[in-house]
Structure 1
């Protein structure tokens, strides 16, 4: 028997898929329902339109279509999946987990599936957990989904939120690789920000019933100035932390893929960490903030730019507050 240790296993992204609804909510549409303008929205957010899911559909439907897109584009057999992690703040229902519903819709009968909610940081959290499952060799084919039907929780009269959010789903497939993959992640959270970005109703504290005011606790609320300040600082610090502990500099990074919350936040983070112009990927202009779906959708829409072997950094910030950064070698 050999005493040598097995080679290190990385969790590599080997396929990616996405889905965005066809219905659009443009800035012109918002001008008709509240006191705002296209110029005001674009100047403050960089967003021109966002996608809105049909009323009869739910988060699981978008996730299923994203997974089917992945399988078609990369020739994957969905029945090889042995773990399914779904990052979402907008589950189909409080229970069962949306991951269970997705599994049933895909015909996966014996898969380890569950949801996790870290708001806009959810995809990073799920990616790190999925990578750990692969690195321990306990699972070989892991799907990481980021999906949110956040438009359901947007008050159309609230221009602090209705201009920002749209719906969508993105997914990556993780497999073991000895060549490269996820390198590191730095993820943090605290409860200090819950008053500044939240949906209060729908849980055990404020159950939704006929007595819940429509314009009160059911809708997404945000203190934009506070979130902006914390987002820029936290995302920048997380990126630098990951680079420093891996003995890298920002010049080593080929692509930065930040959470698509607001173009001004994206630009401010880029300046703060001093990444070269043209290395930051963004798709917020036509999709808005899709919560846990922003990062995988941004990668999915920029596949032609990312080359095998590129070093990619992700960073996000969300309700809680929660935030972090991760680093991986692109192996597709």
Structure 2
């Protein structure tokens, strides 16, 4: 980074009350003990009503709420914001972009807006683009990560009919949410300073492990799933890629492994995150900031939720490494953050 970038404040939004495993299992016909043992996710939030399947929150709703909270905490107004970047895999529409609907809801006008179509690494890509957008004309910007994964799940299905294993695991893993951050080159009032960032494609010759389909009027008859995950490939590749990103992003900040006090690791599920962290082998005493066991895997929101939790713990001068791995076509993301003085 040619010039330090600061996070003035963060904001988060989770739809509705947390849904525990017992309540979810009434819908999907599984056993709570199975989720506890093999998945490790305790609760999640859905942007739909679990009883009726009716949507209660749109992606625009949640992204707007998270952005408003971040702006309020940073004590800035719509007139102060010079650009908006949204990372998501699940926009409300193909057009108009959710980024522009959020801008409208926030009262932003005549500014650049960007929507990055990506899985969880879209959060890091949003920070990457935000850093590049800051200049003397645009001194403050909003970066947002949000997803509504429930739009790909049949919440109103008949619980007496058996699910395929892949469909069952998707219900258990995913959730919905949003997070946002206000960026600035000015460190006045900042919570965190960004010391390094990695955002890179790493899927050359490697098959996708996640695929999300869009169905239009011409292809709604197709029997294929809207969401498909290769969990064996994810288990094979995510730990080693995470270890590589951790080493590279820490080195890019000019630090050694034991200079980092916090690790914000990739968030698939409670159990999977534990296995990933073990193979990442952070320095002894490194404190882990994970939220997925309580929020569910809500994609692009997760790094923001982790950073929001970090901001409540980190002290001036302490460092944290953020690592994301997107399995759709293997995108590596990482940042080193430092507690602002």
Q: What's the TM-score once normalised by structure 2's chain length?
A: 0.86
| Residue 265 of structure 2 is aligned to residue 290 of structure 1 | no
The residue aligned with 1:147 is 146
Aligned with 1:325 (options 317, 320, 334): 334
The residue aligned with 2:169 is 160
Task: Write out per-residue CA displacement over residues 269-304 of structure 1, whole angstroms, 9 at most, x where no aligned residue.
Answer: 322332235611011121010100001112223432
The residue aligned with 1:85 is 85
Mapped partners of 2:221, 2:22: distance in 1: 28
8 A Cα contact 1:35 1:159, kept in partner: no
Mapped partners of 2:125, 2:43: distance in 1: 27
Task: Write out per-residue CA displacement over residues 53-103 of structure 1, whole angstroms, 9 at most, x where no aligned residue.
Answer: 140431111011111112333322232101100000111100122111111
Q: How does 1:3-152 map to 2 (within 5 A)?
A: 9-54=3-48, 55-134=55-134, 137=136, 139-152=138-151
- DSSP 3-state at the match of 2:277: helix
Q: How does 1:160-199 map to 2 (within 5 A)?
A: 160-177=169-186, 181-189=193-201, 190=203, 195-199=208-212
How many residue pairs get matched? Answer: 319
8 A Cα contact 1:192 1:320, kept in partner: no
The residue aligned with 1:268 is 275
8 A Cα contact 2:15 2:57, kept in partner: no
- CA spacing shift, 1:59–1:77, aligned 2, 3 Å: same
- Give structure 1 stretches of 5+ with no counterpart: 1-7
1:217 positional shift: 3.2
Task: Write out per-residue CA displacement over residues 224-258 of structure 1, whole angstroms, 9 at most, x where no aligned residue.
Answer: 12112211111111111122344422211121112
Task: Write out per-residue CA displacement over residues 165-195 of structure 1, whole angstroms, 9 at most, x where no aligned residue.
Answer: 0000000111004798222222222265564
Mapped partners of 1:269, 1:12: distance in 2: 28
- DSSP 3-state at the match of 2:168: coil
1:44 positional shift: 2.3
The residue aligned with 1:3 is none
8 A Cα contact 2:238 2:325, kept in partner: yes
Range with greater deviation from structure 2 (172-181 or 110-119): 172-181
8 A Cα contact 1:250 1:274, kept in partner: no
- CA spacing shift, 1:153–1:192, aligned 2, 3 Å: farther
RMSD: 2.4
